[in-house]
Amino acid sequence: MRWLRPMTSPPSVDTPLAQARARFRARDDTCADLYRQVLANDPAHAEALDILARFATRDGNHDEALSLRERLARARPDTPASHAALGQARLRVGDLVGGMTAYRRALTLDPAHAVVISRLGFLARRRQQPAEAVRWFTRWHRLAPGDAEAPKALATDLLALNRTDMAANTLRSGLRHHPNDHELWVNLGLVLRRAKRLPEAADALRQAVRLKDTDTAAWHQLAVTLRDTGQKEQARRTFERVLSLAQDHADGRLALGALLKEQGEWNQAVATLDPLAPPPGLTQAGILLAMARLPMVYRSEAEMARCRAAYARDLARLATPPTAPVSPQAMARAADAVGTSQPYYLPYQNQDDRPLQETYGRAVHAAMAAAHPALSVAPDTPPPAPGEPVRVGLVSGFFRWHTIWKLFLRGWMTGLDPARVRLTAYATHPTVDDTTRAARQGFPRFVDHRPFEAMAQAIRDDGNHVLIWPEVGMDPMAARLACLRLAPVQCVSWGHPDTTGLPTIDWFLTSDLMEPATADDRYTERLYRLPNLGIAYPPLTVPTTATDFAAAGIPDDATLILCCQYLSKYLPQHDRLLARIAARVPKARLAFIDIRRPRLKTLLQERLTAAFAAEGLAVDDHVVFLPYMRPGVYAALNERANLYLDTIGWSGGNTTLEAVAHALPVVTLPGTFMRGRHSAAILTHIGVTETIADSEDAYVELAARLGTDPAWRAGISARIAAGRDRIHTDTAPLRALEDFVEGVARRGAAPAQSA
């Protein structure tokens, strides 16, 4: 209770009143007994009524407080403060109408009563009426421009109405009067983040932490903002500041762990996440810690084996049911964690992933099913009527310029027969580019990105007979949706060529030429082998951009060997093959693409330095890392190159197709798994099999011959040029896909192998 100056009183009770006032000033609770004596002598004594009402409120006796406030309002009917206090007392006992009536009476007596106006604003907010709250808070702010709380309150409800610019301006007006109000700066930073004005948000949050450098929440928001603006090193230092202030700041640990993992600092990521000690069951911390065990680039085969074993242990914990009952809130958090970090880097290890993926798939499916039970039961969608096209939904985050668009989505959009298949595209990523705009025009129905639950409901409500994900494992929302049962038949294709492990995915649409004969046991889904490459791939027209590659470290007389795969595909056990090729080809330059992660580039450079030194070579004389380049420059690189060296274990897909488009000879060694056989399938399809190796030694020999025998190389190029149209004119995969979706739509999905 605030101890305030007592009111004046009639002379007849001066003696007990004087004693009451003295004890009140001394903060002595026995003053209440004296005020009761005053009130006994004068039942309408305003000061006694007010003080005793305050004591009753403090002690939780709200009915008594209300009775005293009613008496005070009758005793002082023309005093605004009496009605303001009465309004507050009525609200405390749940009398909303009575409280507002008292407040309005106070305003009738004093239209500029800032306290009452502010309370009416907070009351409107409590009633979830932000527009009314804005009206009251605007009056408060105008009446009391020097009150720092008014702009804070007004900005909050402007934000609730999505009026972010007005909210920011309101906070700035408050800062003109209170430039050192730390909370105003924090709120401004949060509003500017909401408005996507991230550089301004960072400036506001920097000012906030200057004023109060112990505000952990402000430091965290600053770190997140710096991360989102691409200032990763500054973000890292700021997250570290968060943890220096609060070691148990879980969100800060999660964010720093994720950032360290992205930067290639896996050991530090694990050390950062370990203190969270995720319990058994699926949690965001547990998922992120498990995925941090899967580096993008390995130092050695031994490190890769250790990482896989650690990942398997973490995965087992994720899949272990919690020992205690799980609250609905915990279920929701577990479901929200699905897709935030995925086992994207697991298949780069070039091993059979089915056991691990099946464990992962069942864990994430269970979490999603618990949180979304209505979306986890197969919809009762009747099969298409005779003559009716099959309704097929395509769920992807890559209706934009991306490999997935090039390999799958554009060919399906232009090549499937609309009389047999009615396509709907569901964009699960918010990015919009020229490709997105073309997709909106090209598909019969295009559903733009929206929040997860709205997208899930839209897909289910559309009554698709079949859903196809071109990939599961890359786009977060697409992965979460794949855990649900949104159509009677659900399929995935090979955009991320590994089994999903999900019991909700019935079929894996694969390439007959890429898939080894014994592949079925490596998938939890049933395999459907589409003919040839399994895709429709119209020609890509990408004009070349004139580029001075000599300035980038490739001399004009160099034999340029493209090693342009994602750096994760280069496994340490194959480094020596690259060095052996460089030793056999005079003036060889092996060109890699720098993916703008310095730590990963450094790791690979260190490995290559050792491998080349073992062959008596200086790595800098033979290896160049080119910057990430635009499509026209990359097309020019293919034109300049002499041969394309495929990766072993996970070969090139779209990169190989683009090399073939430039008649660039490709050397490949098919692997054990489908993902290691893309290039071999492409070369087989166009009838150029001479550069498909059957051993590591043959791989080196073929590359060396192409690098040193211009005539043979020219002959291979001519044969690629003559055969490559088979890729673009092949409609067999489209017709087979139409047959497939018609068949499964009418008979339903057979159970997946893992079911």
pLDDT digits (tens, 9 = 90+) for 404-454: 999 999 999 999 999 999 999 999 999 999 999 999 999 999 999 999 999
- Phi/psi at 417 (nearest 5 deg)? -75, 115
Of 381, 417, 416, 409, the C-alpha closest to 490 is 381
* Positions of the chain with pLDDT lower than 70, given as ranges: 1-14, 749-755
Q: Long-range pairs for 600-609 at CB < 8 Å and ≥24 separation?
A: 600/264, 600/296, 600/297, 600/567, 601/567, 601/625, 603/264, 603/297, 603/299, 604/297, 604/567, 604/570, 606/299, 607/299, 607/572, 607/575, 608/575, 608/578, 608/579
Residue 541: burial class (beta carbons within 10 Å; 0-12, 13-18, 19+): exposed
Query: Where are any strands of DSSP class E within 538-622?
Result: 559-562, 588-593
Q: In the prediction, which pLDDT does 753 show?
A: 43
* Sign of torsion over alpha carbons 457, 461, 465, 469: negative
Largest CA distance in the chain: 122
Helix (H, G, I), strand (E, B) or coil at 533: coil
What is the rounded distance in angstroms from the CA atom of residue 469 to the CA atom of residue 342?
Answer: 16
Amino acid in position 284: Q
SS3 (DSSP) at 343:
coil
Distance CA 562, CA 643 (A): 6
For 384, what's the count of Cα atoms within 13 Å in the CB-facing half-sphere?
21
Q: Which two tokens stand for residue 697?
A: 């030694």
The 3-state DSSP class for residue 559 equals: strand
Q: At what angle do helices 149-160 and 130-143 cross, to 10 degrees?
A: 160
> What's the CA gap between 52 and 50, in Å, rounded?
6
Is residue 602 within 8 A of residue 331, CB to CB? The reply is: no
Take residue 605 and report the two structure tokens written for it.
């450079």
Neighbours of 176 (CB within 10 A): 9
- Which one-letter amino acid corresponds to residue 560? L
Instruction: With H, G, I as helix, E, B as strand and everything else as coil, classify residue 530.
Output: strand
The two three-digit tokens of residue 555, written as one number? 């001399």
Side-chain-side CA neighbours of residue 706 (13 Å): 28
In contact, 412 and 405? CB cutoff 8 Å: no
Q: Are strands 507-511 and 588-593 parallel, antiparallel or unpaired?
A: unpaired
Question: What are residue 589's DSSP bridge partners?
Answer: 560
Q: What integer pLDDT is reported at residue 225 of this predicted model? A: 97
Contacts of 310 (CB under 8 A, 6+ apart): 293
